């Protein structure tokens, strides 16, 4: 697309490409000033040869980037608040005291509607060799479900008729992922641990299932292509529908665990009770010292306990 190279084109676009390339190349440091809009060169290449063979999971992880590991890490400055939130709400550019400022535009962003990874394997028949890994909402907080190229329809959870941007639906994949993400933004550095654990569990499950589905579908396809299409449709739709159920359960779990800013004690997803059946005392995580410093610098002695 047309984008003359100015500060915004580099910082808001090229930097996201740099963040992806940097994860699979040792040569990207030389392009840092260019990608951050601080220099006009050396120009970053249009493509690179990665240092390893990439998997669909690698590409999913690229989409979760918040410039972590760099000096621009979105979770490290004061804008992240006390819970390390690597997001900034719109508008992206703003003014203060007559000067222009901006927030970073990272790869992972709250306003993502959907993202995907297209996996194409030419050694299999086309209906089986293509897998469209499809995720809803913020790619950092999503799980990409595998939809085979040969399916004939999608499940109701992913149907255009199931809710829309102004109509909430409890059975909609879009709204289910939105609900979990929205909650995560409130207690990010706590909730992200649980979310990533579930995300990896589901990704592991799908990766383990795909070879068996490939093999079974190939046998069916050689004898009856329609039966293979029905088989792939059933697998893809059941997997996607179950993902929505799993993510809804995760949202309910997060609500209970982090209710009112407390952290209920649990082990392996089960909340712990005392011998009388009551919940164990919740934990009350303290604010980090750097945030306490921000409060004190902004308020002076307003909250200082006297006579110390």
Mean pLDDT on 211-231: 98
pLDDT of 2 over the 80 cut: no
Say what the pLDDT of residue 22 is: 97
- Percentage of the chain with pLDDT > 70? 99
* CA 48/CA 74 separation, integer angstroms: 26
| 201-212: pLDDT as tens digits | 999 999 999 999
pLDDT of 3 over the 90 cut: no
pLDDT of 265 over the 90 cut: yes
Is the separation of the CB atoms in 126 and 149 below 8 Å? yes
| 37-54: pLDDT as tens digits | 999 999 999 999 999 999
What lies within 8 Å, CB to CB, of 190 at 6+ separation is 83, 258, 263, 285
- pTM for the full predicted model: 0.95
* CA 172/CA 168 separation, integer angstroms: 8
Say what the pLDDT of residue 4 is: 84
| 242-260: pLDDT as tens digits | 999 999 999 999 999 999 9
Quick one: angle between helices 173-184 and 225-257, nearest 10?
Answer: 30
* CA 244/CA 62 separation, integer angstroms: 23
Give me the residues paired with residue 273 across strands: 279
| 112-127: pLDDT as tens digits | 999 999 999 999 999 9
Confidence of residue 1 (pLDDT cuts 50, 70, 90): low
Enter the tokens of residue 283: 């934990």
Tell me the average pLDDT of the chain.
Answer: 96
pLDDT of 291 over the 90 cut: yes
- CA nearest neighbour of 78 among 262, 281, 223, 294: 294
Give me the residues paired with residue 84 across strands: none
pLDDT of 78 over the 90 cut: yes
Count the helices and strands in the chain (H runs, E runs). 9, 7
Confidence of residue 158 (pLDDT cuts 50, 70, 90): very high
């Amino acid at each position: 697309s047309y984008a003359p190279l100015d500060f915004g084109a580099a910082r808001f676009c090229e930097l996201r490409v740099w963040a992806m390339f940097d994860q699979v190349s040792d040569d990207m440091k030389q392009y840092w000033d260019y990608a951050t809009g601080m220099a006009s060169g050396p120009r970053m290449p249009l493509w690179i040869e990665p240092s390893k063979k990439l998997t669909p999971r690698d590409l999913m992880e690229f989409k979760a980037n918040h410039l972590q590991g760099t000096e621009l890490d979105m979770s490290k400055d004061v804008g992240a608040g006390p819970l390390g939130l690597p997001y900034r709400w719109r508008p992206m550019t703003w003014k203060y005291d007559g000067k222009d400022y901006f927030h970073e535009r990272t790869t992972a962003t709250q306003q993502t509607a959907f993202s995907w990874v297209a996996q194409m394997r030419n050694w299999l028949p086309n209906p089986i060799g293509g897998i469209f890994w499809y995720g809803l909402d913020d790619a950092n907080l999503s799980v990409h479900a595998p939809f085979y190229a040969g399916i004939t329809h999608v499940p109701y959870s992913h149907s255009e008729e199931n809710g829309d941007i102004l109509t909430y639906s409890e059975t909609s994949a879009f709204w289910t992922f939105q609900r979990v993400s929205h909650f995560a933004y409130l207690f990010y550095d706590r909730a992200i641990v649980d979310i990533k654990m579930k995300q990896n569990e589901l990704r592991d499950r799908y990766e383990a299932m795909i070879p068996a589905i490939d093999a079974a579908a190939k046998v069916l396809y050689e004898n009856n292509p329609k039966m293979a299409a029905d088989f792939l449709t059933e697998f893809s739709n059941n997997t996607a529908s179950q993902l929505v159920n799993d993510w809804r359960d995760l949202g309910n779990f997060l609500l209970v665990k982090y209710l009112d800013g407390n952290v209920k004690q649990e082990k392996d997803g089960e909340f712990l009770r005392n011998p009388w059946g009551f919940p164990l005392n919740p934990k009350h995580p303290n604010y980090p010292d750097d945030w306490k410093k921000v409060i004190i610098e902004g308020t002076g002695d307003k909250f200082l306990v006297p006579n110390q």
